[in-house]
Amino acid sequence: MSAAAKRAAELRRQLEEHNYRYYVLDAPTIPDAEYDRLFRELQELEAQHPELRLPDSPTQRVGGAPLKEFAPVIHRLPMQSLNNCFSEEELQDFDRRVREGLGLERVEYVAEPKLDGLAVSLTYENGVLAQGATRGDGETGEDITANLRTIRVVPLSLRDPGPGTRDSGKSGVPKVIEVRGEVYLPRAGFEKMNKEAAARGEKVFVNPRNAAAGSLRQLDPKMTAQRPLALYAYQVGFHQGWTPPKTHAETLAQLRAWGFPVSDLIEVVEGYEGCLDYYRRMEERRAKLGFDIDGVVYKLNDLAGRDELGSVSRAPRWAIAHKFPAEEALTVVENIEFQISRTGALNPVARLKPVFVGGANVSNATLHNLDEIERKDVRIGDTVIVRRAGDVIPEVKGVVLEQRPPHARHAKVPTHCPVCGAEVERAEGDVNARCTNGLSCPAQLHGALQHFVSRRAMDIEGLGEKLLAQLIERGLVHSPVDIYKLGAEQLAGLDRMGEKSAENVIAAIEHSRDSRFERFLYALGIPDVGETTARDLARHFGTLDALEVAALGDLATESDESVKPKDRYPQLRKVPDVGPVVASHICHFFNEPRNRDTIAALLDPRQGGIRWPAPRAAVQGALSGKTLVITGTLAGMSRDEAAALIESHGGKVSGSVSAKTDYLLAGEAAGSKLAKAEKLGVAVIDLDGLRALMKVGPQMDANKRK
Ligand code: JCF
């Protein structure tokens, strides 16, 4: 072998190893720049010596010209589908059939999440990826080798010959091995892809499965390469020169050793009780996984037993898919109406022909805003996909265009507020049309008051939605200030209000006068100012006057052509996580005379009488000057308690991870914040780490993982 060939082989080996560590194990051991350097070296070698450019070279993941069409592939063993079951009884029936078929009392199953993606087949000849295909109809699929090569977790060659390869021809590699798995799109990748498509004005995909299917069906592999697809391997198909182990669990271990990603949620369970327990645990974890699953799969662990049971009509008798209740369903939009939010936005709501989805009957679904209606092109009469997942509000995900009837018509955006009759305006760049009547609109007033009295704002217990509606209707309350002018006898005259409950409400109103600056700020309902931003603003400015002066000062920079966009709102933007959009909302809020009058009245001792303690001097402590972000579920402590603890030691708590974050305090089931912290190299600590920090200060911290 020439020196160049040797070096190329070594580079290929190293690059595939690092690729595997990065994408499959999620644990890279070299910096990206070093990987790039090795990659370029191999590219240059192959340019000088084209004969070294082998199909399993990492430089060949994205290569080749676009195809005209996909060639058919006849599967050497049919790719079976799975029978489904939807209930405990059906699961029990399956288990009984298996046990009776094998004459056993008790059976072991391998349980795994059922990914909502596309089944594919990957054939390796002498350890090198030779062909990749779709399932197709199970007999014949399509040759999508070039597209599958672009998926970074798909091994271009098998890593390790493994122990199960004794009788193979040469060097311990199976002569032929077909590995089957599911290609899917992680949710984060799906959202990123859709965001980019929307920014280019292109159609977005309704769900990750469709997006994955569309990505695999690209004739130009360069397109597929840009999609963040992933794969889990779950089955061996045709093989030659390889002796399978005795159990499916061992097969999966072999797949892992060959370098395939195999889900670490897979477990060996016993009997149908074990299956059911697994099902329930996965159902609970479902929403927190990084990808969509539509159920779980149970497979007989004993491979000899599989042969004994065999198949019926294209599905094995030894496996079954246990499906979760569908989260998406089709139904018809009967009307599109608009509800007025507390900030005056006309929120479009689809009135639907009732449909059972996500375990409930749904007849209304949000369309979010006008931009979304336009982007999804939803019309009255359309058949749409409705989604209801977990506790979230049902939403219209997209239209089934093929089923659009000729009489389908666009929603008519009202020119006047359906509640108060005031004019509706849509500012340039605003995703919503808005009622221009402010708190004079009863709908806006109702929303604003509900927010004002809510637990994390002014916390007025007993002043619920229905009571507020009555107060507004009877003209007793026109603004938050009026709440503080109510008397017990006025309340007692209302529906379902006894004397005692009226007195309780009055006491709660009275009690709420002693508040805190950040709560009051949050209660004002400035668009996009949530609890975290309110707290950061309160801490940064200390007093309402200081905040108002900054807001009115910054407003001048908004329309000043001589100020560069990045230099606008200079004072507000010193506050963590305050960007131009939030800053603009704050400026406009304080610039509105009606809002300034309301604030003055709320603070006037003869009217609202709201007050709060003066800001304390910043606490000095072991965490002074440090910014922490909290994520996940902490053991034995709420996040609020953890934040208070951090602040009592001089630290700052921020809502999102950035380069300025010093530590991420991560509990159980931490998600995107943890990923971001790791990407930015932010130190990640747990509660013990925090306690250690508070004891000794950051200098001596041994838990820092930077
Ligand atoms: O995750 C899946 N969608 C999935 C599909 C998982 C499996 O273990 C499968 C499958 C389809 C067929 N196993 C077979 C045999």
Alpha carbon of 113 to ligand 1 centroid (Å): 9
Atom of ligand 1 nearest to the CA of 319: 15
Q: Is the CB of 80 under 6 A from ligand 1?
A: yes
Q: Is the CB of 82 under 6 A from ligand 1?
A: yes
Choosing from 109, 182, 262, 311 the residue with most ligand 1 atoms within 8 A of its CB, the one to mutate for a pocket test is 182
Alpha carbon of 700 to ligand 1 centroid (Å): 50
Q: Is the CB of 262 under 6 A from ligand 1?
A: no
Which residue's CA is minimally distant from atom 4 of ligand 1?
114
- Give the other-Cβ count within 10 Å of 473's Cβ: 12
Q: Is the CB of 263 under 6 A from ligand 1?
A: no
Cα torsion 42, 47, 48, 53 to 10°: value is 70
Atom of ligand 1 nearest to the CA of 232: 1
Question: Which amino acid belongs to residue 502?
Answer: A
Q: What pLDDT does residue 606 have?
A: 94
The region that residue 561 occupies, defined by phi over 0 for left and psi between -120 and 50 for alpha, beta otherwise, is: alpha
The token duo for 639 is 């996040």
Q: What pLDDT does residue 655 have?
A: 82
Q: Is the CB of 318 under 6 A from ligand 1?
A: no
Alpha carbon of 666 to ligand 1 centroid (Å): 34
Which segments in the chain show pLDDT lower than 70? 161-172, 390-391, 697-706
Question: Which amino acid belongs to residue 367?
Answer: L
Q: What pLDDT does residue 700 have?
A: 42
Rounded to whole angstroms, the Cα distance separating 423 from 448 reads 19
Choosing from 235, 291, 298 the residue with most ligand 1 atoms within 8 A of its CB, the one to mutate for a pocket test is 235
Q: Is the CB of 218 under 6 A from ligand 1?
A: no
Beta strands in 259-345 (DSSP E): 267-270, 293-300, 311-312, 315-316, 319-323, 328-340
Q: What pLDDT does residue 172 have?
A: 65
Choosing from 184, 234, 265, 291 the residue with most ligand 1 atoms within 8 A of its CB, the one to mutate for a pocket test is 234
Catalytic positions, please?
114
Q: Is the CB of 297 under 6 A from ligand 1?
A: yes
Atom of ligand 1 nearest to the CA of 316: 15
Nearest CA to 232 out of 292, 301, 310 is that of 292
Q: Is the CB of 235 under 6 A from ligand 1?
A: yes
- Give the other-Cβ count within 10 Å of 562's Cβ: 6
Atom of ligand 1 nearest to the CA of 116: 3
Which residue's CA is minimally distant from atom 6 of ligand 1?
114
- Domains of the chain with CATH codes: 3-52 (1.10.287.610), 84-323 (3.30.470.30), 328-425 (2.40.50.140), 437-512 (1.10.150.20), 517-603 (1.10.150.20), 627-696 (3.40.50.10190)
Q: What pLDDT does residue 82 have?
A: 94
Nearest CA to 608 out of 691, 479, 513 is that of 513
Q: Is the CB of 115 under 6 A from ligand 1?
A: yes
Q: Is the CB of 701 under 6 A from ligand 1?
A: no
Q: What pLDDT does residue 393 have?
A: 87
Which residue's CA is minimally distant from atom 7 of ligand 1?
234
Alpha carbon of 119 to ligand 1 centroid (Å): 7
In this structure, are strands 315-316 and 319-323 parallel, antiparallel, or unpaired?
A: unpaired
Alpha carbon of 300 to ligand 1 centroid (Å): 13
Q: What pLDDT does residue 166 have?
A: 45
Alpha carbon of 187 to ligand 1 centroid (Å): 20
Beta strands in 126-270 (DSSP E): 128-134, 140-142, 176-184, 230-240, 267-270
What pTM did the predictor assign? 0.61
Handedness of CA 37, 42, 45, 47 (dihedral sign): negative
Alpha carbon of 245 to ligand 1 centroid (Å): 19
